[in-house]
Each structure stands twice: as C-alpha cells, then as structure tokens.
Structure 1
Amino acid sequence: MRRTGVKRGVRGDGRGWPVRLLSLLLVLVSLQLGSLISPAYACGCGAMVPSRQARVAVGQETSVVGWDGRTEQIVMRLTVRGNAPEAAWIMPVPHRASVELGDPAVFSELSALTAPVRVTRHYFWPRAHDWPFGGNGKDSAAAPLPGARSVEVVGRERLGPFDVARLAANDPEALQGWLSENGFDLPDRLATALKPYVDRKWEYVAVRLAPEDGANPLHGTLDPLRLRFASDRPVYPMRLSKLAANPQELGLYVLAAHRMEPGGRIGGDAPEVTYAGRIDTRPASSDTDALARLTGGGPVFLTAIEQSFPRPELIDGDHELRAAGADTPYRTELYTDRLLTVGGVPAWVLSLIAVVAAAGVVVALVLVVRARRRAATVPGTP
C-alpha cells in the first residue's frame, strides 16, 4: 500500500492558480464604441465586466513573466466559464506595450520542466492501512496571478477572440468617465483603485473578449496574449485584484538571469516557490522551441511561484520581483510511501519468519545439547 504526500520547500517562485497577472485587470473598455458592457462582476482575476445579464468567471489563470534587464514580457492564458457572449478587463503597464497572441506551447513546455519529482520512500513496519490491520494488499494512492488629453487611445488591434485597446490617461476620473461614455457601468471605487497607476503615469491595456462568431459564450481555455514593454525592473500588476469578491490564487513563471522572488506579500499569504533552476532554451530539440522563441534562446533561470490571497481587499500593491540572495535550485518532490517488500512479500513478514526460524534452530540446539549431557551422566551409556 502506499500514500502520496507533497513536500514543499521555501519558495522563491511559487504555484497554485488564478488572479496572477491578469488579476489587475478591471473591466474598462468597450473597444467598440457601440458595444455596451456593463455591471462589474467580481471574478478570479480581480474584476471583469461581462455583458448585461450575463456571468463570467476565470477558472484558471496562468502567467509567464520574462525579463532581460531592459524589457519585460508577460504571457497570460485564461480558462473561463459562464454564459457571457463577451466581457472585458484592463491591465495597467508601466510603459507603452505591444500586444500580440502568445504561443500556447510555452505553457506545456514550462509545465513539463517544472513537474514535481516523484520519490519513493520505503517503510518497514506495517501501518494502519496495511495488512493485517487493513487494506487488501494493493497500493492505494491519495490523489495527491499630464498630457493635453485626459484619455488617449494609442493603439487598437483585433487578435483572435480579443479586441485590444491601449490607453493612456492622466486622470482616473477622466478614465472612468471615458469608460462610462463608451457603455461601461463601473463601480465608483475603480477610479480610486486606478489612481496609483495614473499618478505614476502608467498606461493600460484594455481587452474585450468576444468570440469571432459572436454567438457562442466565452468558455474554456482562451488563446494566450503576449504583452511587451520597457521595464528597468520586473513588476507583476496586482493592485486591482483587491476589488475581487472571492479569494484569489496567483501562479507565476518567471524567466530571468537569476532566481527571482516577490519583494513582499502585498496582503496575501507568503509566496512559495515550487520550482527554481537554470534551464537551457536553445532549440536543440523540439522540447523547448516555444520557450526558445520567447526568450531568444540560451540559458535562463526559471522560478515558479504560487501565492494565495484569502482576503483580496488587503492587497496593497503590485509584485515587484527581485533577484533572490542565491540561485539555489529547488524542485517540489512528491513522496510515495511504500511498504518494503522482497519478492512481493512484506519484509517485516520475512523478518518475523527468519526470527522464528532462528529461534527454532536455537531451541533445537539447546535440546540436543541437553540430551547429550543427560546421556553422558547415565552409567553404561556409551
């Protein structure tokens, strides 16, 4: 019989799903002046605006942050559920960003590279689930994110199911007003949440998700989006996630020259690293082609980080990522505890048999010695 457990180490780059990078997205744009997208609906990525009388939620959000010292890129992929034919969100960025569709294969390659290592540990004496205490002799495994104009549209593209608008604004109230004028009915607190970004002169990537046929609701895994912008230090926008009504989960892959870690908790549980190690993304094989295209090829340090936000309203900033004190490698290990056997027979049973056999031999020898001694003391015994 076996039990499966998970051993986690001190994280620098942590796992487990969803608010991450898009989390900071807050419905703000109708990218098509005639489209009406209204009441805000709190979801896994902080705030999202679906079409009226519709619902949408982010079931999973996975993000990749790459930084080469001058440029940052974020690749994000959403799995959504609900009955909304369209929805929208917004993401603040520190500098003007370019937006394009990402390669889904990046996530498959990263998942394979960071997969936990399975380690089998043997134990000698039977446990409660083993024979003869219980069980049937078979293994059972537990299964185990100020210019002249107040608001400026600096770019707009159609990318697969995404209608993308890139905005600049120097006044949070004006930004919210622009959204309202274009069919958005957003909460008053949005302007307050955006103010720190406006004060720092950040820009915004506003995205409207709409199926190309306009009929089917948003459902399932969407094509990933890839954002690139200048950055002297890597940052993962999180502040808008404080508007979420439900607990949030952040899962992040970070590709940089060194092992990276968040500068603080920013209102959530302590971030934990699920993987840290140097990888080679040169396209020597088909296993890392997508990563090679993303990073330009060559060695890079990969850190996988996970963090939970049980109370999103406590989020008080963005994740500013920094180099850890050392490039210490780490990998999550999945332990499988298995009863030690020899030839299919529990080792403890064989040991008991050996002990009983040895005891029998000892008893037999003692009896033989005693018999000989008695015989030697009887007169006339040859």
Structure 2
Amino acid sequence: MRGTHGSNPATRILTTLIALLALQLGSLVAPAYACGCGAMIPDKSERIGVDREESAVRWDGRTETVAMRFNVHGNARKAAWIMPVPSRAEVTLGEPALFDTLASLTAPEERDRHYFWPREGDWPFDDPWSDGAAGAAPAAPGPGVGVVGRARLGPFDVARLTATDPEALGDWLHANGFELPERLPGALQPYVDRKWEYVAVRLAPQESGAALYGNLTPLQISFASTELVYPMRLSRLAATPQTLGLYVLAEHRMEPRSPIGGDRPEVTFAGRIAGDESHALALFTGGAPVRLTALEQRFPHPERIDDDHHLRAVADTPYREVVYTDRLLTVGDDVPAWLLAVGGGLLVAALATLLAVRAGRRRSRLAAGVRSAA
C-alpha cells in the first residue's frame, strides 16, 4: 500500500524548503537591540535587522561621549535613526577595536569545577563514535527646524538638528527620505520641551546598490552634559522586545537610577582599568585610568519605557562574572580519581578477604592440631 500524501518524498522536500524560507524571512525582521533612536526603514519593501548594538559611554563630569556599533543584516540599502542629545553634539567615526578591547576586559572569569563520579560523556559512558565537532540632495529645513551641520562620515549621512516642533522635525526627516514611525513626533515631544537637539543619521553603503550588512563602522557622538544620561525614550516605538548592552567609563562605578520600564539592569562587570589597554581605548578615555561598568538590560515590553537612563555613582565595589567549567576530577596523568578510589577499594576488599581466608585456614589448622594431640 502506498504511503499518504504527507509521506511523499517530493512533498517532504517542498515542505522543508518552505520552512527554511520562512526561517530566513523571519531573520530579516529579527528584533533590533535597544538604542536611543528607534530604527526607521526608508522603503517598506526592505527589511533590516540589528543582531547587536553595542554602546560605550565615557563621562568625565562635563562631557559625555557615546560610541555605537551596529551589526546588521537584511536587504535594506538605506536605514536611519535619530538620537536626542541635551546639547550641541560633535559627530565623528569611532574605532572598531574599542569594542573588542571592552569585551576582552569585561569577559567572565573562567574557573574549573571538579566532580568525582563520571557523567555522560566521561569514560565509561562516552560515545567512542563521536568526533566532538560541535543619496538625494537634502530638502531645506522648514519653520521650527534648524540644520546645525551635515556631513558624510563613512557609511553615515549625519545631520545635526534643532527643533521647536516635533511635527516639523518629522516633516524634515520625511522630506529627506526617511520612512518614519507614526508615533515619532509624540515620542519627541519631551525632548522638544527640554530644548534638546538631535543627531539624525542615515546609514547607506558607500557602494551604489549594496545592502547594509555586517559590522558597521562605529559612530561617536560627544556633547556637554552635567549628568550621565543615555537616551532611551524613543526605543518605546519598537514593536518587539529589546535588549540594551552598555559599557560605562567614568570616575566611579555607574548604575541606572531606575529600570525605566524594563527588567532590572544587570551589572556583568565593574572594576578599575588603566584606560590604555589598547590604542582605541586610549583614544576614547584619553589614556587615563577609569572605572568600567558593563550593564545588560531586557525590555520585554518596549512600550513601557518611560524615560531616558540617568546613571548615578555607586560604591566602587569590583565585580566580575564567573563561568564554571565542570571537569572530572583526575590524579596524575589524567587518571580518574573515582577509578583509583574504586580500584583501591576493591584492592582493600580483596586483601581483607585474602587475610580473612588465611586466618580461617590458620584457625582450622590449629583446631586440627589440637584434636590430633588429644
């Protein structure tokens, strides 16, 4: 009897291809990591995903510098975001090696944790057959918007803006080729009320027709600030859960004053560093010793974000995550301790048995001699 339609080889292959295609399309709209911007896509037919947005913040009590690096994928040829800043900003390209250095400095400490009895994967429970592999010209600003400056920096088209009207700012961005979230003007209102300025960035590959892909060159934004603030409010526009990863370099250990609508921020590293561990880090810190704090935070419901992150100095208690690797306890040349213990126990038992047998024989001979004498 022939199998059902679902067991037909051609049908199974087609089903597998459709599943793989759906998985690939899903990856193009993967949730972006949180930033103070709210990502925008200039064409509804294009998709872009941000696998990881890394941010580093340097604050000396007067000036704040934010460096950001994005790892993107998708088919978008252009994308854009806007970052509110409390004062006039200077924008430059950053050093890609900065984030490699910070990741190395804050990496968890690795420790071995030994266990006595063998587990799955250890002899004699291991598998002997396993191999162990595991663009266009900008439009003139309208009333309510001022263009402080505009420049091309690598893959970034950067405009520094002022605005007294969030609707006018939205109109300017739209006129310059940005597809905007409908809720953006409302989300900008608190910044307009506080007379903040804005850095609008359009990401576009330098090669004509190329898509945005991979690690983009970091962008560095500096501005005067008497407090350490990391803009987050616009991330409430995101439709999917967000994750924030932040390196903070300051005189003291710094932590957010509140979770601002997300999960409790988690400190993954806190400690003093020399500040010159690499050329890129020295450029960012000025080569001076600083306290480095690494933070992670999840926002399962971005619409609940109700403020920017205001960070404060706390006790300079050092902290580093510890990652344990479980290893079988061995002695000498990788001889399992349990094997020695079991073997030693068996040997002791065997000797005890032998001694008991000899003692029994000796008693038997003595008893036989006594009976013979009698």
User: Do Structure 1 and Structure 2 share a fold, with TM-score over 0.5?
Assistant: yes
**Contact 2:147–2:159 (CA under 8 A) maintained in structure 1:** yes
Size of the alignment, in residue pairs?
A: 333
Unmatched runs of 5 consecutive residues or more in structure 2: 1-30, 135-141
DSSP 3-state at the match of 1:63: strand
Deviates more, 1:357-366 or 1:237-246: 357-366
Alignment match, 1:263: 257
Q: Please give the per-residue CA displacement for 1:272-325, whole angstroms capped at 9, x wherever unaligned.
A: 11111110024xxxx42211111111211111111111221111111111112x
Alignment match, 1:330: 319
Match of 2:104 among 104, 112, 130: 112
Alignment match, 2:3: none
Query: Aligned partners of 1:54, 1:138: CA distance in 2, in Å?
Result: 43
Amino acid at match of 2:67: V
**Contact 1:84–1:217 (CA under 8 A) maintained in structure 2:** yes
Q: 1:348 to 1:90 in 2, by over 3 A?
A: same
Query: Aligned partners of 2:176, 2:365: CA distance in 1, in Å?
Result: 115
Alignment match, 2:118: 126
DSSP 3-state at the match of 2:261: coil
Matches within 5 A, 1:53-202: 53-133=45-125, 135-136=127-128, 150-202=144-196
Query: Aligned partners of 1:186, 1:315: CA distance in 2, in Å?
Result: 19
Q: Please give the per-residue CA displacement for 1:217-263, whole angstroms capped at 9, x wherever unaligned.
A: 11111111110001111111111111111111111111011111111
Alignment match, 1:234: 228
Alignment match, 2:311: 321
State the shift of 1:52 in Å.
5.1
Correspondence 1:24 to 2:36 = yes
Match of 1:47 among 39, 50, 72: 39
Aligned Cα RMSD in Å? 2.4
Amino acid at match of 1:330: Y
Matches within 5 A, 1:296-315: 296-315=286-305
Amino acid at match of 1:333: V
**Contact 2:42–2:177 (CA under 8 A) maintained in structure 1:** no
Deviates more, 1:92-101 or 1:214-223: 214-223
Q: Please give the per-residue CA displacement for 1:173-193, whole angstroms capped at 9, x wherever unaligned.
A: 222233334444433311111
Matches within 5 A, 1:232-381: 232-282=226-276, 287-324=277-314, 326-342=315-331, 343-377=333-367, 378-379=369-370
State the shift of 1:196 in Å.
0.8
Q: 1:128 to 1:105 in 2, by over 3 A?
A: closer
Unmatched runs of 5 consecutive residues or more in structure 1: 1-16, 26-45
Deviates more, 1:195-204 or 1:336-345: 336-345
Query: Aligned partners of 1:138, 1:186: CA distance in 2, in Å?
Result: 53
Query: Aligned partners of 2:205, 2:100: CA distance in 1, in Å?
Result: 24
**Contact 1:50–1:56 (CA under 8 A) maintained in structure 2:** no
Scaled by the length of structure 1, the TM-score of the pair is 0.81
**Contact 1:277–1:328 (CA under 8 A) maintained in structure 2:** yes
**Contact 2:143–2:168 (CA under 8 A) maintained in structure 1:** no
**Contact 1:239–1:317 (CA under 8 A) maintained in structure 2:** yes
DSSP 3-state at the match of 1:50: coil
Matches within 5 A, 1:199-214: 199-214=193-208
**Contact 1:123–1:338 (CA under 8 A) maintained in structure 2:** yes
**Contact 1:99–1:225 (CA under 8 A) maintained in structure 2:** yes
- Of Structure 1 and Structure 2, the greater helix share is in 2
DSSP 3-state at the match of 2:205: coil
Query: Aligned partners of 1:99, 1:335: CA distance in 2, in Å?
Result: 41
Point out which structure has higher relative CO (alpha carbons under 8 A, 6+ apart): 1
Amino acid at match of 2:286: G
Q: 1:132 to 1:308 in 2, by over 3 A?
A: same
Deviates more, 1:176-185 or 1:74-83: 176-185
Scaled by the length of structure 2, the TM-score of the pair is 0.83
Amino acid at match of 1:354: G
State the shift of 1:154 in Å.
0.8
Query: Aligned partners of 2:155, 2:120: CA distance in 1, in Å?
Result: 54
Alignment match, 1:225: 219
